[in-house]
């Protein structure tokens, strides 16, 4: 189940997209204590042609800005 991100714009590799949803991958088995951060993100978005597209990449490659 993804997270609804329809109120955000997604910035990926200096391009801005209308993001639909994301699904983060988090390593809960890590020995580190405290706040866990996403390692990877699967993003569903509308590309420049208005077609539904998908990206899987490291979380640090994405930025999200509220519309």
Q: Which of 1-10, 14-23, 27-36 has the highest mean pLDDT?
A: 14-23
Q: What is the pLDDT of residue 12?
A: 96
Judge whether residue 32 has pLDDT over 80.
no
Q: Read off the pTM.
A: 0.84
Q: Are 45 and 22 in contact (CB under 8 A)?
A: no
Q: What is the pLDDT of residue 1?
A: 64
| Average of per-residue pLDDT values in the chain | 92
50 φψ region: left (φ > 0), alpha (ψ -120 to 50), beta (else)? left
59-to-6, 16, 23, 49, 64 alpha-carbon distances in Å: 18, 16, 10, 24, 11
- The domain limits of the chain are 1-26+38-50
Confidence bin at 34 (pLDDT 50/70/90): confident
């Amino acid at each position: 189940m993804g997270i609804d991100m329809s109120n955000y714009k997604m910035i990926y590799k200096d391009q801005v997209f209308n993001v639909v949803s994301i699904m983060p991958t988090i390593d809960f088995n890590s020995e580190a204590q405290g706040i866990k951060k996403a390692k990877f993100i699967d993003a569903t978005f509308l590309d420049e042609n208005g077609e539904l597209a998908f990206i899987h990449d490291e979380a640090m490659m994405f930025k999200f800005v509220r519309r």
